[in-house]
Amino acid sequence: MRYVSAGESHGRVLTVIVTGVPAGVPVLAERIDTDLARRQGGYGRGGRQRIETDRATILSGVRFGTTIGSPVAMAIANRDWENWTDVMAVAGDKPKGIRETAPRPGHADLTGVMKHGTDDARDVLERASARETACRVAAGGLAKALLAQLGVRVASFVSAIGEVSMAEVPDPSAVDAAAVEASEVRCPDVATSELMKREIDAARADGESLGGVFVVTATGLVPGLGTYAEADGRLDADVGLRQPGELHLEGHLHRR
């Protein structure tokens, strides 16, 4: 399974196509919407009004709730599109005064403007945007549907944000998934969650963002996913193997 995504942050719609999807996998758009809502609900990501807005529309590859072996296309509409039709019009002449001329530091804006030879940073920042990750979440939801059918369970939690980290990182099998969901920062420890939120509040007040550490575990896998034999087939060396059939990923998100 591979995915390809398209779409700008304030464009009409995000589109993602997943190829190589086997037939016979039960897929519900509603379950993918739950993942999309989790993505939007991160603490400090924006106001409440954004919660529950993204919806995945399955365009092809699924019939009567089951994949048929064709590529699966999904659309995630921009619910605010009506307010952006002038700035992000596909056709027509560009109105005066809508150019973005100040590239944001630490983003791809300046490099993109130099690469593409444009005088409008919006041509770059609309794609170099976290909004694209909604496509990855939708594609990941499809992957989770397949894995669920195979008896694979995927779990994750956040163990550190900024300088705040859990006193002891628990074994993922001992982590209560409901406690993770209940935390606005996806940390199963209530006290640490509160400290993390304060850390985020302080960073926001300074106009900063924060990195962190997350843990993802998959159990129920067959041994030998990926390969040691060829460089481009290796799973990332950060993906540790606790025991055959269990993947353990400890990832670091750097602040932007």
Q: Does 249 bind a second copy (CB under 8 A)?
A: no
Q: Which residue is associated with the tokens 């304030």?
A: 10
Whichever of 35 and 120 has its CB closer to a second copy, that residue is: 120
Binding region for a second copy (CB under 8 A) out of 40-48, 160-168, 198-206, 237-245: 237-245
Contact between 218 and 152 under an 8 Å Cβ cutoff? The reply is yes
What lies within 8 Å, CB to CB, of 54 at 6+ separation is 33, 36, 37, 39, 40, 76, 79, 134
Report how far residue 58's alpha carbon sits from residue 32's, in angstroms, rounded to the nearest whole number: 10
Report how far residue 243's alpha carbon sits from residue 93's, in angstroms, rounded to the nearest whole number: 59
**Closest-CA residue to 78 (of 113, 118, 129):** 129
Q: Least CB distance from residue 189 to a second copy, whole Å?
A: 25
Q: Least CB distance from residue 201 to a second copy, whole Å?
A: 25
Q: Does 130 bind a second copy (CB under 8 A)?
A: no
The single residue among 51, 79, 80, 114 that binds a second copy, judged by CB under 8 A, is 114
The single residue among 31, 112, 146, 165 that binds a second copy, judged by CB under 8 A, is 112
Q: Does 102 bind a second copy (CB under 8 A)?
A: no
Q: Does 17 bind a second copy (CB under 8 A)?
A: yes
Determine phi and psi for 227, rounding to 5 degrees. Answer: -160, 150
User: Which tokens sit at 49?
Assistant: 């009004």
Q: Does 20 bind a second copy (CB under 8 A)?
A: yes
Length of the chain measured in residues: 256
H or E, element range at 5: strand 2-6
- Footprint of a second copy (CB under 8 A): 3-8, 11-15, 17, 19-20, 22-24, 28-29, 58-65, 68-73, 75, 88-94, 108, 110-112, 114-118, 122-124, 126-128, 132, 136, 223-224, 227-231, 237-238, 241, 244, 254
